[in-house]
Chain A
Amino acid sequence: MAREVALPLEIEEERPRRRRWQRILSTARKHPLGVFGLSCVSLLFFCGIFADLIVPYDPEATLRERQTFGALVNTIKPTDTKLTVVDAQLDVGTNFDIDGERMTVVPPAPIVSGAGTTLHVQRASSQATHEAGAALELDVAIANADPSWSHPFGTDHNAKDVLSRVIFGARISLLIGLTAIITGVTAGAFFGVISGYFGKIVDTIIQRCVDILLAFPAVVLLLAIITVVGDEDSSVRRFLANNTPLPKGEFIGIPTFLDVFIVALVIGLAVAVFTTRVVRGAVLSIKENVYVEAARAMGASDARIMWRHIFPNVAALVVILGSVLLPVAILAEAAISFLGVGVPLGTPSWGADLSDEKSRQLMLEGYWWPVFFPGLALSLVVLGFNMVGDAFRDLSDPRLRGSGLGGGGGGGAGRGPI
């Protein structure tokens, strides 16, 4: 008797925990692509949040390297300003060091002869003597370096580390994506609930505005708005600069923060338009419920009904919309930055790096890495979101259960409304 009682107790203590882990593990084993997607998405968040801690180099800095560029032919004395060197190709204005002393090449231009190159220089101090054979050293920009251990993704034509730029690109993508989604979905839910709840004239006005905005192809709409709002001294920019704590320059490691933020707001507008339409549709059916009528009968105000009775019922929908639209927003940023009207020049954004004219030219000559890797990162992130979405659809739709790859009705992340 005692044994029979003891056994279930034991099992109850042990089972739930182990079962949950086993279930998660077996689910993961059944959806390898979902796991892959989840790791891509996690990597995006990890890189975005900890970008400044994990980058090997400053993504904005021109990387330089000390190189020996030649050697002195004859000994130079303290007051000498003319020297002959072997094997040095230096233009007027170049700085170089000999035994730690800084020298600058001055006109007339270097004369190349059989014996070497004759340079006229300005010296930092006129005290030191340098023996023949002393090395000329120069800080050389490491431009277009091949991928290697010290620069896994190589460097671009500005001598910037591509890996660091890709990691910071994750931060910019994430910032723009999340800002756009949070503002867009909030505004969309607000107008959607109001439009659906009040109906009549309010609904008509809001929905006609949505109609008008939906009549533009999304890219064209974004281009049109961004040129208006993103302009040098547009009223939106001036308002944001003067009345909000948003800094114009660098913030959380992102240069030109204000411009990046404005891009996010513009994408947020597009998100809001779409969300309004969807939320309104849901509200139309929710407001017919008896509990709404009951609340009204008890004398609840319109605001209270919308906030306490209607909004909680669309909240789940809003969250789902937000997560589905996040990769769309990220892609939208990349697309408009690619077209050259998004983030300002030089910002380490994936789209902007993809469109860099010089990089693209160099790519045709075989320097593929500065363009290849940002695009790869962007594709992997969108792929990750798509695969996670497929896995979720698989799990939630019992008819598709076990098919592994997600039968995937419909669009997928990259091809939403934008």
Chain B
Amino acid sequence: MSKEPRIIAFCCHYCAFTAADLAGTMRQQYPSNVRIVRLPCTGKVDINMILEAFQAGADGVMVAGCEIGSCHFIHGNVRAVKRVAYAKTLVAETGINPERLEMYHIAASQGPLFAQRANEFTERITNLMNGTGTAEESESESGTVEANA
């Protein structure tokens, strides 16, 4: 690997951000190159935030929100799923591999899952940067990765 991938993680305050915090409390290891941007809800994620992250040099962008049905704002995470799917098409149009963008659902109690997703996504981006593969097959089917609670 030539360099550490730079990853921006847009995380919901009520779930994934808390899970990331919990991961730290539980001394779970995840790559330090995953930089978290805390949002009040993934429904706050704007397509331009994603595009600007790539423009600013991010190698990968992950959006992590609550599990479906658990959004603090009822539908914010569902909207984020749709928005990320649309952002993937916009990103692909510019010539960037859309697998560099992914949506995850992680509950506040799932610290280890946050660490696992962060590790998986970092590995995916590293592979893409090295040209040694695409997204992990286990994740790429639906385009949206559901947490197994």
Question: A and B, one complex?
Answer: no
